[in-house]
Every structure is written in C-alpha cells, then in structure tokens.
Structure 1
Amino acid sequence: MAGRIRWTAPFTWLGRVVRVPGEERRSLVQITKAAAAAVIAWLVATSVLKLPQPFLAPYAAVFLVQATVYRSLRGWAQQVGAVSVGVLLAAGAGQLIPSMTVALGLVVFAGLLIGSWRGFGDSGVWVGVTGMLLISYGNATEPVLLADRLLETALGAAIGAVVNAVVLPPLHGQRLREATSRLASAIGDLLEETAALVRGGEPVEAADRLHEGMRDVRSLVSDAEDAIGWTRESRYLNLRRGREARDEPLANLISLWSPLAQLIDAVSEAAQSEQPFRHPGEYARGVVGELLETLAEVARSGDPAKQDRCRALVEEIDHLLVTPTDEVTTSIGLGAMALPARRLVQRLEAD
C-alpha cells in the first residue's frame, strides 16, 4: 500500500493542479516559467551573443523566477552586484597570487565574508561561488572570459526577472483566502466554547481547553500575518495587482486577537474563582453567552443582521452594569468581560 501511494503521489498532485486553483497550480506555473527562462537565456547567450559555455546565464535565470515580481527585480540587482564582486575578486587573485590553491582558498573566504553583507540578501553566496568557479576553471587571468561571465549572469538574471514580471506574474490571493477561512473558523469555534463556559454548561476544566484553543488561534494569526505580507509584496510592480485579493478582512480578523485573549482570561478567571461575586449572575451570563455565540457567527459570515444583534446585546450588558440589582452590582466578572466583548464587536463592525 505504501509503495502504491508513493507511485501515485505525482499523479494525485497533477490532478489537484487541474481541479483546484491552489498552491499546486501556482507552483506548476512558476516551474514552467523557470524552465522557459533558462531556455531563453541559453539561446540568447549562445545563438545571439555567441558566448562560450554560458552556463551562468540559465542558472541565473532559474533563480530569478521568484515568488513575487518585487523579489525578482530586487534579486536581479543583488545577483549582478554579487557576481561583479566575485569577478573582481577572482581577477585580483589571478593577477596577484601565483598558486591556484592559495588563490582559491582566499577568494572563497573573502567572497563568503563579503557576501554575508545583508545588502546582497540571498545572492550573497554568489560572491564566493563566482570567484571559486572562475579560479578553478582557470578564467581568472583572462579578462575577456571574466567579462563574459559577468555578462551572461546579468543576461540570465534579467531574463528570469522579466519572464516572472510579464508572464502570469505571481499573486497570493489563494493563500490569503485560505488563511482568512481558517482563522475565521477557529475564532468562531473558540467564541462558541467560551460562550458555553460563560453560560455554566461546561465544567471548570473547560477553561484549560480554551487556553489550548488560544494557542491554536495564535498560530493561525502568525500564518495570517505571513499571508498578508506575501500578498502586499506581490502587488509591488505587478501587472496583475488589480486582481489581487483584499487583505483588509484578514487584517481585521487578526486585530481580534488582543480582545479575544483578554476576554478568555476574564472568563477563565471568573469560572475558576471560588469567590462568587466575581462571576456574573445567571441572566447576565446568558446575555454574554448569546453575544459570544452571535460574534462567532459574525466572524464566520460577516452577517450585518447579526452585527446589529451584537450591538443590541452590548447595550444590554451596559444596562446591566449600571442597573442596581443584587445580581450585578457585586459582579466584577461582568465588567471584566464587557470591555473586551465590546472591542470584539467594534472590530468586527470595521470589516
């Protein structure tokens, strides 16, 4: 069975590419573009410019088909800069150091050291690698070949960046939509569990489960922040940026994290306290419980009618807090729950 699963995995992956416009399809598009960029770079270098053995041209082209257009263009500048420094190091070592072995070691050491400068980004390793290749191939003493290596790298990198920018430039809307769906569902589930604890229908141990749920939501918030970062970056210099998904709904869900954590801390404290005055009375708990359940529905669907109901329930809680009844006046717990609940309502309304 395990062998059959391994053999069929590629076909399953291709099936998802055909059926679902998700990560697999985006990966296939980028892979195809990288292959096309490598072929174009090779043809231009060999057939047009007549460069001898221009292996760096397709190599650079492949690496410049990045996840965003902005990264491709930034990578082009970084890679050309890194290769230029590597060429200069190799040229200097080839002229000044008679021993190839010594020159190789010094060029690699100096190249990797210089390449660690953050301005080179991920291309910094090219400083040492370029110098190493030129020294080991015996090109370091031939200025024409050094110039060829620099030209083919710049050419390949430029072709890779242009292909990525012009041919279906990558967008990350699908990642954004998936992160929004996951986070909205997790927040909704957590609000419903909190509502059950507030109403008193759950054992006190349920407070521990709430904190476990909070850790899960916090992890999803981190994923959501990454998705927003990728989406915003993908808009830079992107010809298809008008088709990119809006990130405001997900950013709004992320903003719920702070009041949600405060609310769960207040509910847990009230549920676990041995002092009755800290826990709201039964009627007040019912109002808060309904508010949290309605907020869960709003988080998942954004239903305006449910938002109106949330506002009405918040007003009722405010009324309970100022009404001099025996049930409420001694309740610290209701006041502690009311403020973060109000903030949740306000931030969901901002969507």
Structure 2
Amino acid sequence: MRQSVSRDRTIETLVVSAKMAGAAAAAWILASELLSMTQPFLAPYAAVFLIGVTISRSLRSAAEQIATVTVGVLVAALVVRVIGEPSVALAVSVFIGALVGRWSKFGTSGIWIPVTALLMVTYGSASDPVALLDRVIELAVGAAVGVAVNALAAPPLYWRESQHAVQSVSSAAGSLLRDVARGLDLEPDRSAVDERSSQWRARSDAVRVEVRRAQAALIWTDESTRGNLRRSAVPTRVSHRWWKATVGAIDASWTECGEFVDAAAVGLDPIAPFHVLEDDVRVAGAGFVRALADVVECRCDAHRTQADVVDRIAAAEEALAELVHTAVASEQESAGATMSAGRLVGPATAALRALT
C-alpha cells in the first residue's frame, strides 16, 4: 500500500507541476500579448497560486485574492495621496494594510493587503490610477486562468487519500481484533500476557488516531468532488458515502470495542476482584471478536455489497448470542470469574449495536 501511495503522490505532483506551468504561461500570454499590459507579474502569480487545491477552494481563494489585492491597491493610493514622503507612506501603508488584513473575511489571504500596498509604493505606482487598475486586472486575469485550468485540466479528486485512510483503519482495527481473538483462543500464558495486554491497549488507541485521519481525508475528498467534472467523480461519491458511514460507525463503536479489548486483557491477566476467564467463555469471546473483525473489514471494503455486510452482521449476532449464552449458562468457579465474563459481554453487545 505504501508503494501505491508513493506512486499516486508522484503522479499527482507531476500533474500539478504541469498545470502550474501551463497556467502561468497562459496567464502571462493573455495579459501581456492580448491585453498589452507591461510586466503583468501578478497574472501568472495568481494563476499558479490557485493550482493544486480543490475546485471550490480555488474559487474561494480567487475571490479572496482579488479582494485583498484591490484593498491593498486602494490603501497604497490613499496613503500616497495623503502622505507625500515615500518612506513614511511605505510604513503607514504597510501598517494600515496589516490591520485591515486581519479581518477574518479575508481568510489566509489577508497578508497580501500590506504586501500589495508595499509593492505599489516601492514601485512608484501608487500615484498612477492606470497602473493601479492594471494590477487589479492582472490579478483577475490570472485568477480566472488558474481557476479554469484547475477545473478543466485533470481537476483534483482526492479519493485515493480516503481509500488509503479507510484501508489503514481496516488494517489497524481488524488486525487488533483478530489478535485479541487469537489471544482468547489460547490458554493464558502468564509470561507473555502482560506484554500482549499492554500492546492491545496501545493499538486500540492507535485505531482512534487512524479513524481521525480517515475522517479528515473524507472531508477533503468530499470537498474535491464539488463541481468536479471528471467522470470518476460519480463512483467516488458512491464510495465516499460508503466510507463515511463506515468510519462513522467505527468511531461510534470504538469506545465499546476498546472496552472489550480491555476486558479480554483483564480476563487473561486478571487483577482483583476479577479472575481468569473460564475456557468456554474465553473461546466464545474469541469467536465473537473474530466475527466483529469480519464486520469491520467488510464495511471498510467499498467493493463489498450491502448483502455482504448483512451476512457478516448476522454471523456476528450469532457469535454474540453464543457468547451471552455461554457466559450465563457456564458454571463459573468463582464470583471473580463471573465478573470477568460479565465485563466481556457488556461492551460486546454495545460494540456490535454501534457498529451496525
């Protein structure tokens, strides 16, 4: 999977680089040749700046860029008109531009207000209305070219990030649950159970981290599909809905899954007042957690059908019923063993309900 991710990122880097080069050249030619502007450096700058983000974000960034440059130009023009001394005008325009740029409506583009004002004053253009208007037009041209190139030439569609993130959740959660099942299947080995239990808890926390990463990737993928003209955006939206529901279910169920893992660890290496799980309860618990892993892995696979998931859930419900029956019917040797069995059954029921 790492090789696939690396290859995808390399291809994406090449595509973005090519789009930046094409957008910069197109913006420069349009501004300098067709519109006959002298040194229209803002046009290719704006075009390049808007490449490599989602279409909706490039539109928002274009609006912010045009707004901030326009405000920066106006700040420079007003300050120079009031203050004739260039050095003082430079300081005042940057000061005012920085204050205005802090307005939240400008977003992260607010920094360009003082920068634009600085450039206009130092270039000596702040007192020339035609030159100031040209700067705004240049930026608008570049922004238009950048948005057009980004939307029409291999528009970004960040679905592989979600695919890999969901696969990581499946791998982390599934492998942990299967390892817990193997641990419950075996006779408790006191020499190894301490280390294994601490590893289970650490890995359970790691699953939560993978879930958060997957949720962030899904948000990014969702944004990239808005207004996207690529045909592959349609199946991506279907997979995205599947993955979003899956990751949400795993997130909702993982508190109980973590409690089940912890209960299994205590059942194998008990602390007072708990005792070691009885063999029949331990084996039934292994069967359930293995079925739970099947549900998680099946839900994370976008190639599986709803019928596949239903089958896995039905199998997990049968395994849960067997665990509950075994825990209730088994003749526990001690109250501590009964407590260990009860602690295993409680989160098992809640985990499966939340996951399904």
**TM class, shorter-length:** 0.7 to 0.9
Q: CA deviation at 1:276?
A: 6.2
- Is this contact kept in 1: 2:280–2:326, CA < 8 A? no
- Is this contact kept in 1: 2:278–2:332, CA < 8 A? no
Which deviates more from structure 2 when the two are superposed, residues 179-188 or residues 236-245?
236-245
Matched, 1:210 2:200: yes
Q: CA deviation at 1:310?
A: 1.5
Q: Report the counterpart of residue 243 of structure 2 in structure 1.
A: 250
3-state SS of 1:247 partner: helix
Matched, 1:316 2:322: yes
- Is this contact kept in 1: 2:193–2:269, CA < 8 A? no
Stretches of structure 2 lacking an aligned partner (at least 5 in a row): 300-307
Which deviates more from structure 2 when the two are superposed, residues 287-296 or residues 132-141?
287-296
Q: Report the counterpart of residue 337 of structure 1 in structure 2.
A: 344
Matched, 1:233 2:223: yes
Q: Report the counterpart of residue 303 of structure 2 in structure 1.
A: none
In 1, distance between residues paired with 2:210 and 2:183?
23
Amino acid at match of 1:312: E
Q: CA deviation at 1:230?
A: 0.6
In 1, distance between residues paired with 2:273 and 2:4?
56
Q: CA deviation at 1:126?
A: 1.1
> For the structure 1 residues 277 and 218, does the alpha-carbon distance in structure 2 shift closer, same or farther, using more than 3 Å as the test?
closer
Amino acid at match of 1:295: L
Provide the aligned length of Structure 1 versus Structure 2. 333
Q: Report the counterpart of residue 49 of structure 2 in structure 1.
A: 63
3-state SS of 2:194 partner: coil
Q: Report the counterpart of residue 268 of structure 1 in structure 2.
A: 265
- Is this contact kept in 1: 2:70–2:136, CA < 8 A? yes
Q: 1:130 aligns with which of 102, 107, 116?
A: 116
In 1, distance between residues paired with 2:221 and 2:101?
29
Amino acid at match of 2:290: E
Matched, 1:259 2:256: yes
Provide TM-score, normalisation by structure 1: 0.86
- Is this contact kept in 1: 2:180–2:289, CA < 8 A? yes
Q: Report the counterpart of residue 54 of structure 1 in structure 2.
A: 40
Matched, 1:193 2:179: yes
Amino acid at match of 1:334: A
Residues 146-165 of structure 1: matches in 2 within 5 Å? 146-165=132-151
In 1, distance between residues paired with 2:110 and 2:70?
11
In 1, distance between residues paired with 2:222 and 2:350?
26
Q: Report the counterpart of residue 7 of structure 1 in structure 2.
A: none
Which deviates more from structure 2 when the two are superposed, residues 240-249 or residues 312-321?
240-249
Q: Report the counterpart of residue 295 of structure 1 in structure 2.
A: 292
Q: 1:77 aligns with which of 40, 50, 63?
A: 63
Amino acid at match of 2:209: S
Amino acid at match of 2:340: G
Amino acid at match of 2:121: I
> For the structure 1 residues 58 and 328, does the alpha-carbon distance in structure 2 shift closer, same or farther, using more than 3 Å as the test?
farther
3-state SS of 1:331 partner: helix
Stretches of structure 1 lacking an aligned partner (at least 5 in a row): 1-14
Provide TM-score, normalisation by structure 2: 0.85
- Is this contact kept in 2: 1:34–1:65, CA < 8 A? yes
Q: Report the counterpart of residue 3 of structure 1 in structure 2.
A: none
Q: CA deviation at 1:118?
A: 2.6
3-state SS of 1:205 partner: helix
In 2, distance between residues paired with 1:248 and 1:261?
25
In 2, distance between residues paired with 1:288 and 1:94?
78
Which deviates more from structure 2 when the two are superposed, residues 210-219 or residues 90-99?
210-219
In 1, distance between residues paired with 2:228 and 2:194?
52
Which deviates more from structure 2 when the two are superposed, residues 164-173 or residues 255-264?
255-264
Q: CA deviation at 1:289?
A: 1.1
Amino acid at match of 2:240: D
Residue identity (%) = 34
- Is this contact kept in 1: 2:68–2:110, CA < 8 A? yes
Q: CA deviation at 1:328?
A: 8.8
> For the structure 1 residues 326 and 208, does the alpha-carbon distance in structure 2 shift closer, same or farther, using more than 3 Å as the test?
closer
Q: CA deviation at 1:174?
A: 0.9
Q: CA deviation at 1:93?
A: 1.1
> For the structure 1 residues 187 and 324, does the alpha-carbon distance in structure 2 shift closer, same or farther, using more than 3 Å as the test?
closer
> For the structure 1 residues 321 and 270, does the alpha-carbon distance in structure 2 shift closer, same or farther, using more than 3 Å as the test?
closer
Amino acid at match of 1:91: A
Q: CA deviation at 1:324?
A: 6.8
Q: Report the counterpart of residue 109 of structure 1 in structure 2.
A: 95
